[in-house]
Amino acid sequence: MTKKERYEKVIDWFEKNMPVADTELHYDNPFHLLIAVILSAQCTDKRVNMVTPALFGAYPTPEVMAVSSPAAVYEYIKSISYPNNKAKNLIGMAKKVVNDFGGKIPDTLEELESIPGVGRKTANVMLIVAFNKPAMPVDTHVFRVSNRIGLTDNSKNPVQTEKELIKYIPSKYLSLAHHWLILHGRYICLARKPKCEECGLTPFCKYFTKKR
C-alpha cells in the first residue's frame, strides 16, 4: 500500500464513520477559546471545562483580564495543571491582545505565536477552530496516531508531523482531520494499550499489521 493510498483510505473511513468532529473544549468566543486552549496544555479537556464557566464569567473580555493579576486568575484555575505558570500566561496574553491587537484575537500564525502562552500547536488550534483556516495542530495524540497508522514516517517532532500531514491531506479536510486524529487517539488508539479490536482503521494500519 502506498502512502497516498493509506491517506485516502484513512480519510474515507473517517469521513464515513466520523463525519462531524470538533473540539471538546467549551467556549463562546475566540478570546475564551484561547483561554481554554492555553489551560488544556498537559491537562484534560474535561478538567478545563469544569473551571472555565466561572473563569469566563469573571473575565468576559481581554480588557477585564488585562487589569487583573495572576494571583486572582490562579484562584479560578488552581485545579488545573501548572496553574501558577498558566495564570501568568493568561494575564500576559490579555495584555498583549489589548495593547497590540486592539482587544481582538489575531488570526495569523505569526501574530498568535507572539502572544504569551501560545505555541505553534495552540496557534494552529485557534486557526482551525476560531477562524476556520486550514492548519494542522499536532498534540501528543495526533503525533502518536499518525506515526502508528503510518501516515508519517517516524516523525521525530510535531513540526515534522504537521508538515507531512499537510502535504498529504487536502486542505478542505485539515480541520476535520485534526479532530479525527485527536479523538481517535483519545478514545481508541490509546498510548499504552490501543483498542485495536474496536478500531476500524486496522486494515490499513502499519502498527496493527506489524503486531499480528
List, by residue number, the catalytic residues: 121, 139
User: Which long-range contacts does 58-64 make (Cβ < 8 Å, 24+ apart)?
Assistant: 59/35, 59/94, 61/31, 61/103, 62/31, 62/93, 62/94, 62/97, 62/98, 62/103, 63/94, 63/98, 63/103
Burial (CB < 10 A; 0-12, 13-18, 19+), residue 166, is: middle
Ligand-binding annotation for 43, yes or no, is no
Residue 66 near residue 92, CB atoms below 8 Å: no
- Half-sphere exposure of residue 60, counting CA atoms within 13 Å on the CB side? 1
Ligand-binding annotation for 205, yes or no, is yes
Annotated binding site: 189, 196, 199, 205
Annotated binding site for [4Fe-4S] cluster: 189, 196, 199, 205
